[in-house]
Amino acid sequence: MAKHEFDCVVAGCGVAGLSAAVAAAQKGAKVAVLERAPQEERGGQSRYTEAYLRMKSHSDVSDDFETHLAENGSGSIDPEWIERSADSQEKGLIRGLSMLDPHFIETFANQAGPTIEWLTGLGARFEFLPTQFLTKSQPRLLPVGGGQSLVDVLASQAEKLGVTFFYQTTAVSLIENKQAQVVGIRARTSGTGIQEFHGKVMLASGGFQGNAEWMSRYVGPRSVYLRPICKGGYFNRGEGIGMALDVGAATCGDFGSYHAEPVDPRSGISEPSVFIFPYGVLVNQDGERFTDEAPGTVDAFYERITRRIYEQKGGMAWVILDARHQRIPNYRLGIRTDKPPIVASTISQLASLIQVPVDALNQTIQAYNQGCSGSDWKPLELDHVKTKGLNPPKSNWACPLNEAPFHAYPIMSANVFTFGGLKIDSSARVLHADGDAIEGLYAAGEIVGTYYGNYTGATSVLKGLVFGRLAGLHVSSSLSHV
């Protein structure tokens, strides 16, 4: 069995793993990166995402950043324990509970700006560019060129710093010494077999959305109606989480949930999102409405609405629009699918084309139109043009659908990433279930459990960047020769 010696071994080549590799190598650490994909496909999900960042400037996170994370940072936990977790002196089992640590949130917010500055120094560029959200409640900073640009900048820098990449190499299990310290990782390389990589270990191998067995076990049997948001997600199979649990790691995040995004099931491109639904009605395969399509800005509510779509027969729904939506300024930003809409001159014809009961869809649209006040909408702001006497109601942009041609797009819920994962401290060290840090083991990215029930939008990539960098810095600071 081949054995390799490094100061730090990173499992995963997305932005979290690359941030750790570069930060450690900048301080003189000898670093290896294990990537299950070939070199030309490196980057995991990071290379497919637009990488929205919940920041109001290059140095400051959004105003609701810490509050939103805290409000969605636990399940049903004793409020006294939540309060005790905020005490900086609290040690032991409280630290190992499945809940978001207030110190983690504080570090996340405080280190976002310095991380963007660090990346800018490496050659990344960030701007406030147009998003797919026609209405939004919080700003989004974007890397110019999306996640692929971050992968390219970080990987190029890692190579310049002498980081060694092992492609088509999948981590299998952790190596512990007699003191229960993690001292390395075993990995399987295509055509070579099992190899051992000795050094401190950084896990950045994502969640488990690509593992059908885990999805059925944790999210439930209806997960057959979900699919990863992009092709990179199929390779996130939970091995990193599993091997950490095998050495006693604490968990965090909602294992029974995931980040939902509305996509066109006909499309095979990355993130074929359909965010235009607030301007029409959503119907299931029985031709019936089932949710308020527009309770608020689309960026704040699309996940909750997509979860309702997931609950419908076959895990899908149709958004029905009339010609009015095409007059919304830049409306195409809200439709990222590469497939055309189903178009018809009447609702009856549309029902036949999308194979929902004709009478049911006509009745649904008639009832909806009768519930509308007739007031015109203001599509780029919350206008409170709502229905009356309709169940479920529609709270904004409720205008009759009476102008042909009528358009329909199918929508299913994509699984952007799973919520359940490992618990880390503010230095990205993986915690044991008893609350102590597991010596020699770090984690960052989607493998780190953070969210319960509702995703704090535009924080996942940022979390990987921030805690990946912090992991690299902590690893290098603990090495005697650096």
Q: In a 3-state reduction of DSSP, which class is residue 360?
A: helix
Q: How confident is the model at residue 191 (pLDDT cuts 50, 70, 90)?
A: confident
**Short-list 253, 66, 41, 288, CA closest to 168:** 41
Taking CA atoms, 364 is separated from 156, 396, 398, in Å, by 55, 18, 14
What are the percentages of helix, strand and coil residues in the chain, rounded to 5?
35, 25, 40
User: How far is Cα 181 from Cα 475, in angstroms, rounded to an integer?
Assistant: 14
From 92-96, 197-201, 271-275, 344-348, the region with the lowest mean pLDDT: 92-96
Q: Which helix (H) or strand (E) holds 167?
A: strand 164-167
* Concatenated DSSP letters of 21-87: HHHHHHTT--EEEEESS-GGGTTGGGGT----B-BSSSS-B-TTHHHHHHHTSBSS--HHHHHHHT-
Q: Which helix (H) or strand (E) holds 172?
A: strand 169-176
Provide the pLDDT for residue 83: 74
pLDDT 10s digits, 207-261: 999 999 999 999 999 999 999 999 889 989 999 999 999 999 999 999 999 999 9
Residues 144 and 271 in one domain: no
Judged on CB neighbours under 10 Å (0-12, 13-18, 19+), 121 is exposed
Structure tokens at 319: 């958004």
Q: Among 391, 414, 437, where does a domain finish?
A: 414
In a domain, 482, yes or no: no
The total number of structural domains that make up the chain? 2
Residues 52 and 195 in one domain: yes
Contact of 204 with 227, CB cutoff 8 Å: no
Residue type (1 letter), 190 = S
Residues 392 and 286 in one domain: yes
Residues 458 and 372 in one domain: no
Residues 269 and 407 in one domain: yes
Q: How confident is the model at residue 481 (pLDDT cuts 50, 70, 90)?
A: low
Residues 459 and 325 in one domain: no
Angle at 103 (CA atoms; ends 98, 104), nearest 5 degrees? 65
Contact of 175 with 182, CB cutoff 8 Å: yes
The label of the residue with tokens 């010494």 reads 177
Judged on CB neighbours under 10 Å (0-12, 13-18, 19+), 179 is exposed
Residues 244 and 268 in one domain: no
Provide the pLDDT for residue 88: 67
Query: Which domain, by its residues, includes 71?
Result: 2-257+419-477
pLDDT 10s digits, 385-430: 999 999 999 999 999 999 999 999 999 999 999 999 999 999 999 9
User: How far is Cα 32 from Cα 256, in angstroms, rounded to an integer?
Assistant: 33
